[in-house]
Amino acid sequence: MSDSPTQGSAQPEHDHEHHHNHEGPGYATPQAAIEEGGREKLAYVMSLYVGTDVDAPDFVAVVDLDPESDTYCEIVDRIEMPNRGDELHHFGWNACSSSCHMEGLERQHLIVPGQRSSRLHVIDAADRRNPELVEVIEPEEVFEYDLSAPHTVHCVPDGQILISMLGDADLPGGFLELNEDFEIEGRWEPPGEIEMNYDYWYQPRQNVMVSTEWAAPKTYYPAFDLEDVEEGKYGQKIHFWDWEDGTVEQTIDLGEEGQIPLEVRFLHTPESTHGFVGTALSSNMFHFWRDEEAGEYRAEKAIDFEAREHPDWDMPVPGLTTDILISLDDRYLFGSNWLHGEVWMYDISDPSNPRRADSLSVGGTFGDVREVQGREIVAGPQMLQLSLDGERLYWTTSLFSSWDDQFYPEEAERGSVMLKADVDPRTGTLELDEDFLVDWGECPAGPARAHEIRWPDGDCTSDVWQ
């Protein structure tokens, strides 16, 4: 933790001509999303059969989250992909709150990439309960731009869509840009700006984007191997970009305490330059901010999750912090330690000095609660999503098919689950809802894995504000 006096004055230096005339999709401000969004009644969840014995295409599940509904906690629709083996992973909307000036643009289409196939699917979700696949961009069209392995999908302010690409069999990664009609515009950045890629987040009022590093697909596709870490094949850097120019302005090497930086988030308020990045293998949280006096970004370790001894492991088990998110009021940081079986909650009212608020231990290698509704939980908490009002935290249990098979082989046989905790933002506490369970083990074709979660009208991990 740090209390450096030079930390983030959060004053925008970019000349931003934004007049807040809200005409486009989404909400005018994060507070408007909290007040106007209403309770989530449906969720879209990435669902896949890659790495299981089921010979079926991956699908997007529509989950009923309305407690008043007869189908509460059930998968009420499945949008199947046309091919097998895509490994659906992350996805996003064609438009979000950052497109607030785009009159006529609607948050209607989901962009659904295949991480292994490099195929891009477009789903029309105008009918929220019965979306349909309307377009497929084949891998050959993507490869023409020397890009592959799509990951994070964000809509951007002018109605376009930007996708982080993790690279070919070797290196490097980059970014693919689609236009409003879902046509490939080309590479967003000049080739060669980065070697590795993973997640990204942008803060348009600050004219900055930040990106992280996983590894080349040929490294992580087969499974995790500690020798790859020792040989420097996994990333430990974060990159700060000029948002308008698409060029890297600064790179920070997080060192051994920052190995495999994955999910990265700026605070939601567009005036802020503060954010957090979770480093999976080192299981540390780094706080970053712009030092206005120095004219550059700083990063310091803010939270440290210690590895634990386990009789079945010949090394201490890291928490493996695989997902983080920030509540829309920027007060709480939530995260998941997939191997330790823990979801946690920190008060980041002072982002330089996070304060542990609460945690839940469920599933995973050490988790205490191993059954919900009589269903054994065979993997740890992984992808998170928080309600707009910050009072319900949901999570699924699949990370990546080959890593699931390595650390939690029963996930392929039993399928994933979706669980929920009730959150009290006033007291900073979490309580597992033991009546809530969505079971991917009961899918018609056989048990499936469940990964990223999205709300139909925006959420804490896809909306950005200008």
The model's pLDDT over 67-111, given as tens digits with 9 standing for 90+, comes to: 999 999 999 999 999 999 999 999 999 999 888 777 888 999 999
Question: Would the pLDDT of 169 be above 80?
Answer: no
Is there a contact between 233 and 217 (Cβ–Cβ < 8 Å)?
no
In this structure, the number of other CB atoms found within 10 A of the CB of residue 424 comes to: 13
Lowest-pLDDT range of 12-16, 82-86, 179-183: 12-16
Spatial separation of the C-alpha atoms in residues 186 and 146, rounded to whole Å: 10
Task: Identify the pLDDT of residue 16.
Answer: 46
Mean pLDDT calculated for residue range 37-54: 96
Is there a contact between 350 and 342 (Cβ–Cβ < 8 Å)?
no
Cα angle for residues 367, 370, 375 (degrees, 5° grid): 150
The pair of three-digit structure tokens given for residue 349, joined into one six-digit string: 């009212």
Is there a contact between 277 and 286 (Cβ–Cβ < 8 Å)?
yes
Task: Identify the pLDDT of residue 19.
Answer: 55
The pair of three-digit structure tokens given for residue 461, joined into one six-digit string: 């991990």
Task: Identify the pLDDT of residue 103.
Answer: 80
Model confidence at 18, in pLDDT bands (50, 70, 90)?
low
Name the pTM for this structure.
0.94
In this structure, the number of other CB atoms found within 10 A of the CB of residue 392 comes to: 18
The model's pLDDT over 379-410, given as tens digits with 9 standing for 90+, comes to: 999 999 999 999 999 999 999 999 999 999 99
- Nearest to 456, CA basis, from 31, 40, 23, 160: 40
Spatial separation of the C-alpha atoms in residues 463 and 458, rounded to whole Å: 6
Question: Would the pLDDT of 171 be above 60?
Answer: yes
Model confidence at 20, in pLDDT bands (50, 70, 90)?
low
Percentage of the chain exceeding pLDDT 70: 95
Mean pLDDT calculated for residue range 355-364: 95
CB burial of 173-201 (b: ≥16 within 10 Å; e: otherwise) equals bbbbbbebebebeebbbeeebbbbbbbbb
The model's pLDDT over 102-123, given as tens digits with 9 standing for 90+, comes to: 788 899 999 999 999 999 999 9
The model's pLDDT over 246-275, given as tens digits with 9 standing for 90+, comes to: 999 999 999 999 999 999 999 999 999 999
CA atoms within 13 A on the CB side of 27: 21
Beta-strand pair 247-253/237-242: antiparallel
